[in-house]
Structure 1
Amino acid sequence: MATVVQAYQFALDPTEHQRAMLSSHCGAARFAYNWGLGRMKAVLDQRSAERSYGIVEDELTPSWNWSAYSLRKAFNAVKGEVAPWWGENSKEAYASGLANLSRALDNWNKSRAGKRGGRALGFPRFKSKRSTWSFRVSTGSFGLSDVDRRHVRLPRIGLVRTHESTRKLARHVERGTARIRSATVSFRRGRWHVSFSVEIERSEPASATCGGTVGVDLGVKHLAVLSTGEVIVNPKHLEVAQRELLRLQRQAARRCGPDRRTERKASNRWRRTQVRIATLYTAIANARRDGLHKLSTRLVDEFDTIVVEDLHVAGMVRNRRLARSIADVGMSELRRQLDYKTTWSHRQLVVADRFYPSSKTCHGCGTVKAKLRLSQRVFTCDHCGHTADRDLNAAATSRAWRPPTVGGRRKTSPLETHVRPAMLATGTATGRPRPAGPGPTLRRKATAQEHFRTFPERINDISDDATAAQLIEGYKQLVRRAHRDGMRVLGGTLTQFEGSVVWTPERERTRQRVNAWIRGTELFDGVVDFAAATAQPEDPLRLRPEYDSGDGLHPNDAGARAMAEAVELSALHRRHH
């Protein structure tokens, strides 16, 4: 038996009087939130102004503690003055707004200090009447009704009828396997809802019916393609309802809506049209959510391990031609459902690296194509000739993905996201093989001692002609070795050469290219014959005969040649000065 926290949501069917009371409680939570935010903002602004006057820290205006307990204590001391109507609502409504404010301020402070991941958060803003209506209840008389299974109990409001039966939760409560922790009432999608946070004991899950591992490739043309060959059709709920939605929106545009500039109120016909639009959007969202729940439940029931891709959906929807279709799929919602369902069922959810080229990688031999346009729906490998559907090949390739290791350990740091995929192949998008190890760990500052792989450690060590010649030859070897083992050559930028070399525009472009190479991007156009390297182990770095110009560098590799000339000029400069 495992204890988890699960939410049970029910749609409410309140009376007119109960609707007014629910709205009043949501307004009370919003009022308490705005009151606390106003006081906190005034104190912070005053302290900031006093610091600008040169006042020492000990003499500043005393700061406020923004913990939920301190905010509730301060509000209770002045609620008779700022909110003389406070007795009309439950105390839980005010406590809910202040708790939300405490959490928002804490998240802002941690984000400002760099202790919170994700995007940077700004200072909390005041809530308007158009924001989401909600309040939370954690104490008092709330829960399921003792009379029947079609009512819930809320403090100060009483019994509220539900649209559906609450028997699924009531049976667990009666058996003693569930405990209701809190209840959140909200107005969403044109309806009042109550969501119970329940601590419930779940029985041991049954074993998977099929077992094994399955790769899932999400897309727009198909909702999902499994590595087993099964294709899940995309129902396109929003696209199907688009005609009716456009008709209603045109209807609303012809009617008198609200205008804040002229203080014009909306007509009743406009309000009725908005209700119909909201109802249609609700039907679309419910149908999409229901389909994703059925798909995620089925995957968890049938397979032990599920492999999905770490898709950057926020970046994908920036494509204005595909944004609506991508948003209609619900990729993030499916991954969220798989996340908690695999945890409850003791399954494993593997998230492939965001930069893993699953669509470009051949499932047969592992070769990575240089380019694969979105319009190319059939994948054809240039190396082995393997042909398959693009999405099916991506799903099969994702199935074989395994979390890479960095230095003998699992990748855990967010700075280690750009790790080469674990699947290796001879022949890649750059014309060179994948390294035998995990490859470079990008977006990490590397020291010169780690990656400056020359015979003398630095150019300052040049003392004679033999050392200079050794440095020049060593750099030529570095270019080819980097192609062989995939390692970065320099630990810093090329600023170390600027003091002794006059940089022409051509050499400045070369410096930019080498610096880009340091950051992990592609630079050189040299092609190394690795097939010949296997046949001739005595010279594994030998270039193809038609490309060999005598100095060991590719004739088109202008960056490597110019850099070698720069090193030679620097060596001559130091010997003569």
Structure 2
Amino acid sequence: MLRAYKTEIHPTEEQKKKINQSIGVCRWLYNQYLAKNQELYKQFKEDLISKKEAMLSANNFDKYINNEVKVLEEYNWINLCGSKARKKAICNAETAYKRFFTGKSKFPRFKKKNKSDVKLYFPKNNLTDWKIERHRINIPTLKWIRIKEFGYIPINSKVVSGTVSKKADRYFVSVIVEEKLTIENKSYTEGIGIDLGLKEFAVISNGIHKKNINKTANVKEIEKKLKREQRKLSRKYESLKLRNKKEKGEATRQNIQKQIVKVQRVHQRLSNIRTDYINKTINEIVKQKPSYITIEDLNVRGMIKNKHLSKAVAQQKFYEFRVKLEYKCKLNEIELRIVDRFYPSSKTCSCCGAYKKDLKLSDRIYKCSNCNASIDRDYNASINLENAKIYEVA
């Protein structure tokens, strides 16, 4: 099976310059593809062209760049990026635009400089490409780069492809390798149900409660620091408007760029804490070796529309939890059951099966009027998810 490994790298100044230039080229090509198709789509809406002509394919756009744009002297900088990375950026833009063109999503966003996550794609074309040693890795066109975590990527593994990315002034490499799947000790226990929420991150039907990491003192202190750094950045922008741009403009812009990196680092630290907590929670669940796991198909997009809960819902990373849980369940041959989002897991009594229609969101204890049972609302929902009979297998 294919498995991904991501770790930080320490490139030289020359390699950093090449990575930054290549990321800039890929970002420009991504935006140009969207802009070109946006013009065609407007012409289609005005009945000037047919629907087939309203979408430019990635291959045709790549030919247009190679034959008409790149030959011009003012666009020679496009050659600073490898051809495979350029083609992959255009293909990513095509995938995003197809989702909009078929009505599955909104029009994709244009990638902004220093704000959007742009990755450089490098396939393995030669035997010397993606050669891995304990402390360094050979990336195509970039050559040998030192790895931060020694021995993290398996040395004897077969690399299929990889990407290089930059985030908060730090550089990362992600490689996809082929590995043999080995499962040890297939002794499974009973199935479990998991109810995700905001008060507590996850309540499991076997009695385990996973706290909300965003309510801890450590995360709250970092969020306060983020506010302070964002306030400093905002004041620097305001001072740039008031000062004389000719005298102190360049120095002010350099200070703004330094402050942007500080804000990005705090954002990344918060993201790393939440992702690490999700990974540890999933690992703890899978180690119990349940015969099946049942979760609810949450309407995260609808929950985020609530202005009072949108920030709290986004911080919980429910979608990331589900994606990683699916991967771990397939890896360990555990059946993952997805229950419909309209299943009344919270309003149904887990003891007698009675339905309580007037249950409010503020009622944290479920009190059944039929059997007089009194149970925690989230724990009651997790038991109902475990016993659900109608579900889909992920």
Band of TM-score, shorter chain: 0.7 to 0.9
Match of 2:176 among 197, 210, 216: 197
Q: Which residue of 1 aligns with 2:149?
A: 164
Trace 1:389-428 onto structure 2 (pairs within 5 A). 389-403=376-390
Q: Indicate conservation of the 8 Å contact 2:338/2:393, yes or no.
A: no
Distance 1:402 1:87, change over 3 A: same
1-side partners of 2:307 and 2:336: how far apart?
31
Q: CA deviation at 1:341?
A: 0.9
2-side partners of 1:331 and 1:94: how far apart?
32
2-side partners of 1:275 and 1:6: how far apart?
31
Q: Indicate conservation of the 8 Å contact 1:367/1:381, yes or no.
A: yes
Q: Which residue of 2 aligns with 1:120?
A: 105
1:6 aligns with 2:9: no
Q: Which residue of 1 aligns with 2:102?
A: 110
Q: Indicate conservation of the 8 Å contact 2:123/2:162, yes or no.
A: yes
Q: Which residue of 1 aligns with 2:368?
A: 381
Match of 1:226 among 204, 211, 216: 204
2-side partners of 1:19 and 1:319: how far apart?
42
Greater strand share, structure number? 2
Q: CA deviation at 1:258?
A: 8.3
Q: Deviations over 1:499-535 (max 9, x none)?
A: xxxxxxxxxxxxxxxxxxxxxxxxxxxxxxxxxxxxx
1:290 aligns with 2:282: no
Q: Indicate conservation of the 8 Å contact 2:196/2:202, yes or no.
A: yes
Secondary structure, counterpart of 2:186 in structure 1 = coil
TM-score normalized by the length of structure 2: 0.84
Trace 1:315-354 onto structure 2 (pairs within 5 A). 315-354=302-341
Q: CA deviation at 1:48?
A: 7.1
Q: Indicate conservation of the 8 Å contact 1:378/1:387, yes or no.
A: yes
Trace 1:337-486 onto structure 2 (pairs within 5 A). 337-403=324-390
Q: Indicate conservation of the 8 Å contact 1:152/1:159, yes or no.
A: yes
Number of matched pairs: 381
Q: Indicate conservation of the 8 Å contact 1:92/1:139, yes or no.
A: no
Report the residue type matching 2:14 in the other structure. Answer: H
2-side partners of 1:135 and 1:199: how far apart?
20
Q: Deviations over 1:252-279 (max 9, x none)?
A: 3343468689976644444444333322
Report the residue type matching 1:92 in the other structure. Answer: K
2-side partners of 1:153 and 1:261: how far apart?
48
2-side partners of 1:320 and 1:107: how far apart?
27
Q: Which residue of 2 aligns with 1:72?
A: 62
**Worse overlay, 318-327 or 193-202:** 318-327
Distance 1:331 1:153, change over 3 A: same
Match of 1:89 among 76, 81, 102: 81
Q: Deviations over 1:368-425 (max 9, x none)?
A: 1121222222111011101111111111111111226xxxxx899xxxxxxxxxxxxx
Match of 1:25 among 16, 22, 34: 22
Distance 1:317 1:89, change over 3 A: closer
Flag structure 2 segments of 5+ consecutive residues without an equivalent.
none
Q: CA deviation at 1:137?
A: 1.5
Q: Indicate conservation of the 8 Å contact 2:364/2:377, yes or no.
A: yes
Trace 1:207-286 onto structure 2 (pairs within 5 A). 207-208=186-187, 211-236=189-214, 238-256=219-237, 266-286=252-272
Q: Which residue of 2 aligns with 1:98?
A: 90
Distance 1:203 1:229, change over 3 A: same
Distance 1:239 1:320, change over 3 A: farther
Q: Indicate conservation of the 8 Å contact 1:8/1:169, yes or no.
A: no
Report the residue type matching 1:30 in the other structure. Answer: R
Secondary structure, counterpart of 1:248 in structure 2 = helix
Q: Indicate conservation of the 8 Å contact 2:130/2:159, yes or no.
A: no
2-side partners of 1:39 and 1:273: how far apart?
34
Secondary structure, counterpart of 2:76 in structure 1 = coil
2-side partners of 1:310 and 1:374: how far apart?
18
1-side partners of 2:363 and 2:8: how far apart?
46
Report the residue type matching 2:190 in the other structure. Answer: G
Report the residue type matching 1:202 in the other structure. Answer: L
1-side partners of 2:112 and 2:233: how far apart?
24
**Worse overlay, 333-342 or 240-249:** 240-249
2-side partners of 1:169 and 1:348: how far apart?
28
Q: Indicate conservation of the 8 Å contact 2:117/2:165, yes or no.
A: yes
Report the residue type matching 1:72 in the other structure. Answer: D
Q: Deviations over 1:80-118 (max 9, x none)?
A: 22632344332223222222233234333333xxxxxxx
Report the residue type matching 1:253 in the other structure. Answer: S
Q: Indicate conservation of the 8 Å contact 1:221/1:234, yes or no.
A: yes
> Does 1 or 2 have the higher relative contact order (CA < 8 Å, sep 6+)?
2
Q: Indicate conservation of the 8 Å contact 1:144/1:151, yes or no.
A: no
1-side partners of 2:39 and 2:361: how far apart?
53
Distance 1:269 1:382, change over 3 A: same
2-side partners of 1:92 and 1:372: how far apart?
56
2-side partners of 1:332 and 1:104: how far apart?
19
Report the residue type matching 1:20 in the other structure. Answer: K
Match of 1:153 among 132, 138, 153: 138
Report the residue type matching 2:283 in the other structure. Answer: T
Report the residue type matching 2:155 in the other structure. Answer: A
Distance 1:214 1:260, change over 3 A: farther
Report the residue type matching 1:22 in the other structure. Answer: I
Q: Indicate conservation of the 8 Å contact 2:337/2:393, yes or no.
A: no
Q: Deviations over 1:348-373 (max 9, x none)?
A: 11112101111111111101112122
Distance 1:128 1:275, change over 3 A: closer
Report the residue type matching 1:76 in the other structure. Answer: N
Flag structure 1 segments of 5+ consecutive residues without an equivalent.
112-118, 174-178, 405-409, 413-577
Q: CA deviation at 1:41?
A: 5.3
CA RMSD of aligned residues (A): 3.2
Q: Which residue of 2 aligns with 1:131?
A: 116
Which is greater in Rg?
Answer: 1
2-side partners of 1:258 and 1:91: how far apart?
42
Q: CA deviation at 1:44?
A: 6.1
Q: CA deviation at 1:25?
A: 0.8
Q: Deviations over 1:474-493 (max 9, x none)?
A: xxxxxxxxxxxxxxxxxxxx
